[in-house]
Structure 1
Amino acid sequence: MNYIIKPLAFACIFAAPAWTFAGSATEAEIAQLRQEVKALKEMVLQSAQRQNAIQMQSNAAMQAAAANPQPAIKAEGLTLKTKGGAEFSLYGNVRGDASYQSKGGSASRLYNQISTVPLGGSADSSDLLKSTLAATRLGLDFKTATQAGDVGGKIEMDFLGTNDALRIRHAYLTYGSWLLGQTWSNFAPPDYMPETIDAFGYVGGSIKRTPQVRYSHKFSPETNLVLAAEDPKDSSSTLRLPALTARLNHQFSNTLAVSARAMGTEKKTDADTQTAWGLGLGAKWNLSDKTMLKADYYHVKGDSSFVLWTNQGFVTNANNDIIATNVFDSITIGLTQQFSPQWRGTAGYGYMKADDNDAYVNAFADKTKINKDLWQAWANVFYSPVKPVSLGLEYVYGEREAFGAAVNGSTTGEENRISAVAQYNF
C-alpha cells in the first residue's frame, strides 16, 4: 500500500499547483505533466495486478491445505521427561491366554504345572477350558544423563501375582558396569529357552528373577563376564548369605553364541548348613537367516530355587540336620523356523532327571510328591497380521514319573493341552 499511497500523495501535491497555474504554463510543461500522470497510473495498475496475483496464490494454497490436511504431530521421536529430569519410554502388551486341558494339573492355574500333575487315574483335572489376561504387561525404561555418565533404570509389571494381583517383574537401575535391583537371574536367564506360548516355559528352562547386585566386564566385543550376588528367595532355607553366580558369554560368530554359568549358595536350617551349587550351559545357533536352534542344560545339587519344576533341594531329620540333597540334570532344545514375515513356528523338547538317592527319597513319607523324571514336547505357530499383533497356537504333551505309586499303582502323571494367545504390543 505504501507503493500506492505515496505516489498518489506526491501526485496530488504537484498536480494542484500545476492546474492552478495552467494558464501561465507552456505547452511543453503541460505535456511533461501529462506523461508523469500517465506513468503514475501505470504504477498503480501494476501494483494492483501484483496484489491480485498474491491473493490468488494465497487462496490456492489454503484450498490445497483444506483438501490435503497434514497428519497430527506424533509423539514418536519426542523426548519425554519425568519431574526429576529423566528421559523415559513406555512399552508393554495386552495379552489374552486360553487353554483347553485334556489332562493336567489344578483347574485354578492355566500355565505349566507338569511337576504336580495327578498320577494316572487319581482325580486329575481333565476336559477344562481356562483363560486369563494376567500376563498383560506394562513397563517403563528410564535414562538420566549425568556428568559421570548415564544412569538407567527399568520398571516392569504384570498381573501374575496371587489372585491376578499386580507384581514386579523387573525393577532396577544401571550405572556403568553395575546393575542393582531385580531382573533375570545371572545363573538362570531365559535367553536360551525355545519359544513357547506358556508364560512359565517348559521343563529344562528357567525364568527366574532375583534381587541382585551385578557387575559386567567386557574382555572383547565377543566376550564378557557377568558376576552377581543374588537373593534366590528360597523358602526352604534361612537366608544368611547371598547366592554367588557367574556367567561367561562368548560370540563365536554372527551365527553362534554360548553362555557358561555357575552358581553357589548356602542352605541353612536352625541346626545345619550345606553348600548347594550348579552349572549351566546355553547356546543359540542361527542355522540360516530363517532357522534358529536353542539349547540349555543344567546340573544342580541341593537347590530348588533357580531352575523350575525341580524336587525340593534338601531334606532334614527331626533335629533339622540336612541329611540328603536332590541332584538333577535338565535340558531343553528347540528349533524355530521363520516361514514368512508373518508366520513362524517352534518345535521343542525338555527333560529333567533326578538322581535315585535312597537317603533323599526315603525321607519323604509321600513319595508320589517327588519326581524321578519329567519331560514335555511342544509345537507352536505364531501369526502376525500386522507388526504389533501376534496370534499363537500351541500343543504340549508331557509326563512325570514319581518315585512312589498312587493308590491304584500308577507312577505316571500326564499333561495334555492346547493353548492359544492373542497379544498386542505397544
Structure 2
Amino acid sequence: MNTQFLNFMLKPITLACAIALPAVTQAAPASEAEVEQMRAELKALKTMMQQYVQQQNSLSANLAEVKAKSESVAVQASTPAMKAEGLSLKTKGGAELNVYGNVRADALYQSEGGSAARLYNQISSVPLEGNGESSDRLKASLAATRLGLDFKTPTQAGDVGGKIEVDFLGANDTLRIRHAYLTYGDWLIGQTWSNFAVPDYMPETIDALGYVGGAVKRTPQVRYTYKFDPATNLVVAAEDSKDDSSNMRLPALTARLNHKFSDTFAVSARAMGTEKKTDADTETAWGVGLGAKLDLTERTVVKADYYHVKGDSSFVSWANLGFVVNANKDIIDTNEFDSISLGITQQFSPQWRGTLGYGYMKADENNSYINAFSDKTKINKELWQAWANVFYSPTKPISLGLEYVYGEREAFGAAPNGSTKGEDNRLNAVAMYNF
C-alpha cells in the first residue's frame, strides 16, 4: 500500500473519532470509565496506524536498495572484465579473446661457450679446448619476449578454441610463430609442442632453449586425444618433423600415453616412427620416451625425462645428424642415442624458488656412421650439462632469475692439438614482466 495514502487517511480518521467522541457522550450518558476506555482505544488505534506507516516506509526503502544493486550488477556483467590471466575481450566474430605474454630481458656472462652471437644453449657445438674458444663474453637479448592470444567461440556443437603465440627468436631476431592452432572437441590442428618431444618433464631453466636431455620441439600436426578416464588419456598425432636432412613424404606418427597415479605423481610414455627419405633411398627412424613428475611435498617437485632414438635428429635437441649418405644419396647408416634429464625444484617461499638439474646424452659408437664424417670433431660421443638457478618474484607479475651452468661435449674425433672436449661455462640472468 502507498504510504502517502495511509498518512492522508490517518488524519481524517483520527479527526472523525475525536468529533464523534463528544457526540457519543452527549447522546448516551456514559460513565467516566467508559469515556476513558474509548479514549485509550482511540490512542491505541492511532499508534497502530503510525507503526504500520513506518513499516511501509522501511519496506519501500529496502525495495529501492535491492533494485539499485540489481542494476549495478547488470551493468558490471555487461562490461568487459580485466582478468588475472590477461585482458578478456570479444572479437568481431563473437569469440572470447584473452591476451597474455611477457617482456623478457636475458643476459649472460660466458667464461667458455659457443661462438654464435645468440646467447642460448650451444652445447653440441662449443669449440674444443685450445681451438678458437669463445671466452669471456657478455651477451644480452630481448628476443625471447612473447605475445599470445587465446580464442574461444561457443557453438551449438561445443566450444571451438584457438591460440596464436609468437616471439622474436627467428633468424636475426625476427618474429616467429611458436604456437598457432585450433581445437574442436578432442581434435587439435596446427602447430604446438610435439606429441613426442614434450617439455613437461624438463627441470626448470632460464635458458630459452633448455639443456641437454630435454626437448623444446614445436611441429605442425593433427592430433586426437582419447580419454579412458579422468586419470588416463592417449594422444596420437601425425606431425611434420621439420627435418631439413630428409625429403618428407609421410608425416611422423607419434603416440603418448599419460597417466596420473595420484595428484602428486604423473607419468608419460611416448613413441615415434617416421620415414627418412633422400632422392635415392629411404630408412625408418623411431624413438621412445618416458617422463615422470613427482611432488615430494607441497614445495618440492622432482622431474625426469628419458629418450632413446634411432635415425632421427629433429625431435630431441642437441643430437647428432640422424643419418648419413654417400655420394649417390644412399643412406649408409643411422645415429642411435640415449638421453636423460633430472631435476628438483624447491619453493622456498611465495617469492623464492630454485632448481638443481642435470642432463646427459650418449651416442652409440657406430663405426660405419662415424667414418662417414670427414671431420669427426663435429659429431659428439657424449654431452652433459649441470645447472643451478634461483628465481625471485618481488610481486606477482615480475620474475628475476640467476643461473649457473657448466657442461662439456666429447667429440668422436680429436682437434689438431689432440683435444676432444669442449666446455660450456656461463652465468645466465633474466628479468620478466608477465601480463
8 A contact 2:88–2:99 mirrored in 1? no
Equivalence map 1:34-73=2 (5 Å): none
Report the CA distance between 1:144 and its aligned residue.
0.4
- Tell me, in whole angstroms, the C-alpha distance in 1 between the residues paired with 2:381 and 2:361: 8
- Is contact 1:281–1:296 with CA below 8 Å preserved after alignment? yes
User: Structure 1: how far apart are the matches of 2:166 and 2:333?
Assistant: 38
Gaps of 5+ in 2: 5-78
Assess, with a 3 A threshold, how the Cα gap between structure 1 residues 358 and 219 changes in structure 2: closer, same or farther: same
Match of 2:273 among 264, 270, 291: 264
Query: 1:411 and 2:420 equivalent?
Result: yes
Indicate conservation of the 8 Å contact 2:308/2:339, yes or no.
yes
Q: Equivalent of 1:424, from 395, 411, 433?
A: 433
Give CA-to-partner distance per residue, 1:180-217, whole Å, 9 cap, x none.
00000000010000000000000000000000000000
Percent identical = 78
1:345, 1:102 → 2: CA distance? 23
- In structure 1, the residue matched to 2:190 is 181
Give the direction of change, closer, same or farther, for the CA distance of 1:254–1:394 in structure 2 (3 Å limit): same
Q: Distance in 1 between matches of 2:116 and 2:309?
A: 31
- For 1:237, the equivalent position in structure 2 comes to 246
Tell me the CA shift for residue 79 of structure 1: 5.3
CA distance in 2, matches of 1:215, 1:402: 40
1: CA distance, partners of 2:356 / 2:335: 30
CA distance in 2, matches of 1:161, 1:227: 28
Does the CA contact (< 8 Å) of 2:80 and 2:88 recur in 1? Answer: no
Q: For residue 149 of structure 1, give the secondary structure of its aligned residue in structure 2.
A: coil
> Residue 325 in 1 paired to residue 331 in 2?
no
Q: How does 1:285-300 map to 2 (within 5 A)?
A: 285-300=294-309
Q: What's 1:377 paired with?
A: 386
Q: With structure 1 as the length reference, what TM-score do the two structures score? A: 0.82
Q: Deviations over 1:377-425 (max 9, x none)?
A: 0000000000010000000000000000001100000000000000000
Shift of 1:89: 0.5
Partner of residue 171, structure 2: 162
Aligned counterpart, 1:392? 401
Note the C-alpha offset of 1:108.
Answer: 0.6
**Distance in 2 between the 1:241 and 1:366 partners?**
32
**Secondary structure at the residue paired with 2:124?**
helix
Encode CA deviations 1:86-108: one digit per residue, 9 max, x unaligned. 11100000000000000001241
C-alpha distance in 2 between matches for 1:79 and 1:406: 57
Q: 2:82 — aligned with what?
A: 76
Q: Which runs of 5+ in 1 are unaligned?
A: 4-72
Confirm or deny: 8 A CA contact 2:80 2:89 kept in the other structure.
no
Paired with 1:366 and 1:143, the residues of 2 have a C-alpha distance of: 52
Alpha-carbon distance between aligned partners in 2 of 1:112 and 1:160, rounded to the nearest angstrom:
13
Give the letter for the 1:206 counterpart: A
Pairwise CA RMSD = 1.3
Contact persistence 1:107–1:128 (CA under 8 A): no
Give the conservation status (yes or no) of the 8 Å contact 1:143–1:153.
yes
Partner of 1:217: 226
Structure 2 residue matching 1:409: 3-state secondary structure: coil
Point out 4+ residue stretches in structure 1 off by more than 2 angstroms.
none
Deviations along 1:240-289, one digit per CA (max 9) or x if unpaired, are 00000000000001110000000000000011001000000000000000
Aligned-partner residue type, residue 76 of structure 1: M
1:133-212 pair list within 5 angstroms? 133-212=142-221
Could you say what secondary structure the match of 1:115 adopts?
helix
Q: Secondary structure at the match of 1:359?
A: helix
Q: How far did 1:176 drift?
A: 0.1
Q: How does 1:13-52 map to 2 (within 5 A)?
A: none
Q: Structure 2 CA distance, aligned partners of 1:76 and 1:134?
A: 27
TM-score normalised to the size of structure 2?
Answer: 0.81
Residue 415 of structure 2: SS of its match in structure 1? Answer: coil
Where 1:304 maps in the other structure, the secondary structure is coil
Contact 1:157-1:166 within 8 A present in 2 as well: yes
Q: 1:315 & 1:164 partners in 2: Cα distance?
A: 31
